[in-house]
Amino acid sequence: MNVLVIGANGQIGTRLVRKLKEAGHDPKAMVRKEEQISQFKNEGIDTVLADLEEDFSHAYNGVDAVVFTAGSGGDTPKSQTQMIDRDGAIKAIDEAEKAGVNRFVMVSALKANRDEDSWSEAMQHYYEAKSAADDHLRNTDLDFTVLMPGRLTNEPGTGKVELSEYIEDIEGRNITRDDVAAVITEMIDSPVTFGKSLELLQGETSIKEAISGIS
């Protein structure tokens, strides 16, 4: 499968393009700066130079699926968060529809799908942006998955997760970026995840089993 990774230079994106390639897919890394191209080219990964603030429709040429993993982070100004996490994501969804690319995975955030009372004041703008983009995706006819990982860490992946439409016990729990990338790689061509919004945390179930257990 030819997979466009938007935000390929980010911490999840970098891991994801490598895992997709290892799994036999053909990732296309979308990057914003010329100097970001070489790290992927050196690993034999196709790249495309494109900017979410400009016309990036050319990035969708020959693509079967899109993963949106670009993000401003919770500590960036509200305007930047709206531009990337809301407006950029919505543009990416619209471009997928125009290009006839049906499979779309959105990397969102845990709590984006929950009551606003659970959002801290400092993070409210971040969750608002994520929630708006997620809702836009849910209102399309695309084969979408909204993936909502919890607090991200850079520890080595364990291959064991909890993946569900609603996780009861979320406080104090994390998920490694390695495991987020591994889950996306495993679910990219898995119809059981189509039309689902899934929360993701470290757990006790293998990734393959966790995905196959989605109903």
How far apart (Å, rounded) are the C-alpha atoms in residues 192 and 23? 19
Q: What are the structural domains, with CATH classification, of the chain?
A: 2-212 (3.40.50.720)
For 169, list phi and psi in degrees, rounded to 5. -100, 105
pTM: 0.94
Residues involved in catalysis: 126
Q: Could you give the residue ranges of the DSSP H alpha helices within the chain?
A: 11-22, 37-41, 78-81, 89-99, 124-138, 177-187, 207-212
Range 27-32 contact pairs with CB under 8 angstroms and sequence separation of 24 or more: 27/2, 27/3, 28/2, 28/3, 28/4, 28/59, 28/62, 28/63, 29/5, 30/4, 30/5, 30/6, 30/56, 30/59
- Listed residue (184, 141, 130, 138) closest to 161, CA to CA: 184
Q: How far apart are CA 106 and CA 133, in angstroms?
A: 9
User: Per-residue confidence of the chain (215 residues) as pLDDT tens digits?
Assistant: 999 999 999 999 999 999 999 999 999 999 999 999 999 999 999 999 999 999 999 999 999 999 999 986 656 667 778 889 999 999 999 999 999 999 999 999 998 888 776 677 767 888 899 999 999 999 999 999 999 999 999 999 999 999 999 999 998 899 999 999 999 999 999 999 999 999 999 999 999 999 999 98
